[in-house]
Structure 1
Amino acid sequence: MTWAGALRGEGMTRIFVYEPLSADDPGTTQALGRGTPAHEEMLAAGRGMRDAVAADLARIAGLAVTVATGEQEAGHALRTVRRAAPESSIDFVRRQALLHDLCWIVAPESDGLLLRLREAVGDARWIGCSAAAIRVASSKKATCAVLATAGVATPLAFAKDHRGPWIVKPDDGAGTLETRRHATRAAAEHDVQHRRAAGRHAVAQAFVEGEALSISMIAGPDLARPLAINRQRLAMDAQGWLHDLGVQPAAIAAADARTATLHALASRVASAIPGLLGYVGIDVVWNEREGPVVIEVNPRVTCAYVGLSALLRRNVAQEILALHAAARSGEVAADVPA
């Protein structure tokens, strides 16, 4: 059965794909500074994720895909729409949602953006996590507290008597933006106070030594299906600022001794945060002494999605749509094809 048959019974099922930076969202662009290295880096990442999702969707029978683009972007293989100034990005997404059957939004949690976009789209058309799950995952402090209560290792487990470096980052930040390592806890706390005085929400965490990994998984009611374990490439400059050098999808083989433990961890995270649905990314540091330590949970598509369908030799977007269809119809997660 095509998606048209599953959702409307006739015609094509219309799906809207939106990523704020590639769609020239003025707020997100202004926050990064148009043309700055941070803006260019995040713009490239945003376009990559948007196009990976859209390409997977375009291969599914019965779907008509629309992609939001910006004025500076020349040409696209799929149907495109643009925000009409002075229309706000939220109003633009709300209007497009009414013109489509489904919406797949790729956006950061920063400043509540992902949550506000979810509210604009509404439950019926949204592909992704619940508002409650996004609210928890949008705060690194709240995420660590919830996971620690569930017995999942987080940087909180290292805080007491930690004499090593500390990390300061935005509580709702994405990637490594404004993330800085300090040699001492006192220096980190000073940084936090400085940021809060400027009106920015920041958290300090004990720096966890180890290999930076991430888990790509599909989550749903009673379901946590790991898709791949990825390696994150990070660098630190002389001032302690962290920089994201990209991700290597599916870098950790199934035969790796850590794989079973990481798969079990994904299930525990999904159980600890109800409402995770669809693609979810879990950032992890593998510590030699403690094993996997969860740093944050991303309730949305991450950079590791790019190229993932080709690596796995199956359409990840199709699996996610099947899961959402099953969730809406009340079918059990086990009935969703692997």
Structure 2
Amino acid sequence: MGFDPGSGDDRIAMSSEAEYPRSVFIYELITGGGLLSVAESPAPSGSLLQEGTAMLAAVVEDFAAIPGTSVTILRDHRIEPLSVAANKQIVVRSAQEEHETFVEAVRSTEATLVIAPEFDGLLLERTQWTEAHEGRLLSPGSDFVELATCKWKTYQHWLAAGVPTIETYFVGDIASWHHLRNLPVVTKPRDGAGSEEVVCWKMGKQVKAEVEPNEKILIQPKVCGAPVSCAVLGSGGDIVPLPAGYQRLSKGFKYHGGSLPLPEPLLERAHRLTGQAIRSFPPFNGYVGLDMILGPCPDGTEDVAVEVNPRLTSSYVGLRLLLKNNLAQSMLDVAAGKAFVPQPGCGGVDFEIH
């Protein structure tokens, strides 16, 4: 795809086609009342609330900046009113009210963008709510989401497709990962979001001694290299990669932001792996991200895909600072088959998620 730069430094690259939605429902689960449906869930807090709020504020501002576009969001009654540019901020007080209000928002707007963590099937369920009521999704459909939200299914899919990834086993199948008993390993939930419940162990035998065998937790060898993410915009079977960047992670794998873009040789490797990994998935419209590790070998032979984020990711916050393009408008342009190329507006961006 190409892009007509138009007005140069202007962030808004407007298209006037009538088919573009002018009312958008943007749903972010942590701020939007989704945790009300999770049994014994406390009020939204911590890193998920920080990341959710940052993503929501950024994408709402970008859609609201498109002339003639109105934005609707939901808000969990247990958090303070959100400082975002939405035209409507609807408060929800129960799981039933969240579902009913979600459906009404889908019906009363022209397009829906679903942002939710992958655990407990929450993202898949709300994607299916949208599809059941014939909403126009600006995020991946349920076929894409169902595959991407399960790390085990993703691993098996990539193996079959020849995508380089990390060998993965169920913690409960001890015989299959016996060779990792004296090596550094990582455990993670099969449907976790981001770094939630990801644990690094000095040796696999610690896991055998301390983690109860089950089919909910996966184990992988720890892979050395640079943690990197790359987002893409999709239009059916076509994708447009955005600038990839480093992820800033704490020792406990908590995500704190990153820096964009990668140096050119690494950027080429990241885009190559992203294209291979994402194109193996079902066609989609909207924005998704790939987490990967770029290994120490300069030719990229040790690079591995880690997981797909079938939704808007925290890197959106940094990308919108790096690019002159309005990313919300870009999503619409790419989904409509319009020519587009990312336009960096500065040399680089370091961003933090607080």
Partner of 1:69: 75
- Indicate yes or no: 2:25 matched with 1:6: no
> Which one-letter code corresponds to 2:114 in the other structure?
I
CA contact (8 A) 1:52 1:307 kept: no
CA 1:27–1:87 in structure 2 vs 1: closer, same or farther (change >3 Å)?
closer
Alignment of 1:294-305 (within 5 A): 294-305=305-316
Deviation digits for residues 78-103 of structure 1 (CA, Å, limit 9, x no counterpart): 22112254634333211211111111
Q: CA deviation at 1:114?
A: 0.8
The structure whose RCO (Cα within 8 Å, separation 6+) is larger is 2
Match of 2:161 among 150, 156, 175: 150
- Indicate yes or no: 2:104 matched with 1:95: yes
Partner of 2:280: 272
CA contact (8 A) 2:117 2:123 kept: yes
Partner of 1:81: 90
Aligned mates of 2:189, 2:36 — CA distance in 1: 17
CA 1:299–1:212 in structure 2 vs 1: closer, same or farther (change >3 Å)?
same
Partner of 1:337: 340
Deviation digits for residues 237-292 of structure 1 (CA, Å, limit 9, x no counterpart): xxxxx231412142413x2x121121111111122112243211111111224432
Partner of 2:352: none
> Which one-letter code corresponds to 2:81 in the other structure?
A
Match of 2:227 among 190, 212, 219: 212
Aligned mates of 1:3, 1:173 — CA distance in 2: 40
Partner of 1:318: 329
- Indicate yes or no: 2:200 matched with 1:181: yes
Residue 140 of structure 2 aligns to a residue whose secondary structure is: coil
Aligned mates of 2:106, 2:143 — CA distance in 1: 21
Aligned mates of 2:40, 2:243 — CA distance in 1: 32
Match of 2:147 among 118, 121, 136: 136
Residue 306 of structure 1 aligns to a residue whose secondary structure is: helix
Q: How many residues align?
A: 312
Q: CA deviation at 1:40?
A: 2.0
Match of 1:164 among 180, 183, 187: 183
Partner of 1:332: none
> Which one-letter code corresponds to 1:45 in the other structure?
E
Bigger mean CA offset, 18-27 vs 93-102: 18-27
CA 1:154–1:125 in structure 2 vs 1: closer, same or farther (change >3 Å)?
same
Deviation digits for residues 27-83 of structure 1 (CA, Å, limit 9, x no counterpart): 477666437xxx322111101001111111011123111122233323533221122
Partner of 2:350: none
CA contact (8 A) 2:55 2:312 kept: yes
Q: Percent identity?
A: 25
CA 1:75–1:288 in structure 2 vs 1: closer, same or farther (change >3 Å)?
closer
CA 1:86–1:112 in structure 2 vs 1: closer, same or farther (change >3 Å)?
closer
Deviation digits for residues 162-212 of structure 1 (CA, Å, limit 9, x no counterpart): 552111111110111111112223333455535x3xxx7211111111111
Aligned mates of 1:84, 1:288 — CA distance in 2: 50
Alignment of 1:283-294 (within 5 A): 283-289=291-297, 290-294=301-305
Residue 146 of structure 1 aligns to a residue whose secondary structure is: helix
CA contact (8 A) 1:3 1:63 kept: no
TM normalised by structure 1 equals: 0.83
Partner of 1:247: 257
Residue 254 of structure 2 aligns to a residue whose secondary structure is: strand
Partner of 2:8: none
Aligned mates of 2:86, 2:329 — CA distance in 1: 18
CA contact (8 A) 1:148 1:156 kept: no
Aligned mates of 2:168, 2:28 — CA distance in 1: 35
CA 1:191–1:5 in structure 2 vs 1: closer, same or farther (change >3 Å)?
farther
Aligned mates of 1:3, 1:138 — CA distance in 2: 35
> Which one-letter code corresponds to 1:302 in the other structure?
T
CA 1:318–1:235 in structure 2 vs 1: closer, same or farther (change >3 Å)?
same
Aligned mates of 1:220, 1:245 — CA distance in 2: 28
CA contact (8 A) 2:33 2:74 kept: no
- Indicate yes or no: 2:242 matched with 1:227: yes
Residue 47 of structure 1 aligns to a residue whose secondary structure is: helix
* Structure with higher helix content: 1
Aligned mates of 2:95, 2:237 — CA distance in 1: 43
Deviation digits for residues 127-158 of structure 1 (CA, Å, limit 9, x no counterpart): 11121111110011111111122221111189
Aligned mates of 1:118, 1:3 — CA distance in 2: 28
Bigger mean CA offset, 159-168 vs 211-220: 159-168
CA 1:86–1:67 in structure 2 vs 1: closer, same or farther (change >3 Å)?
closer
> Which one-letter code corresponds to 2:99 in the other structure?
I
Aligned mates of 2:35, 2:144 — CA distance in 1: 26
Q: Unaligned stretches of 5+ in structure 1?
A: 237-241, 327-334
Bigger mean CA offset, 180-189 vs 98-107: 180-189
CA contact (8 A) 1:215 1:281 kept: yes
Match of 2:267 among 259, 265, 283: 259
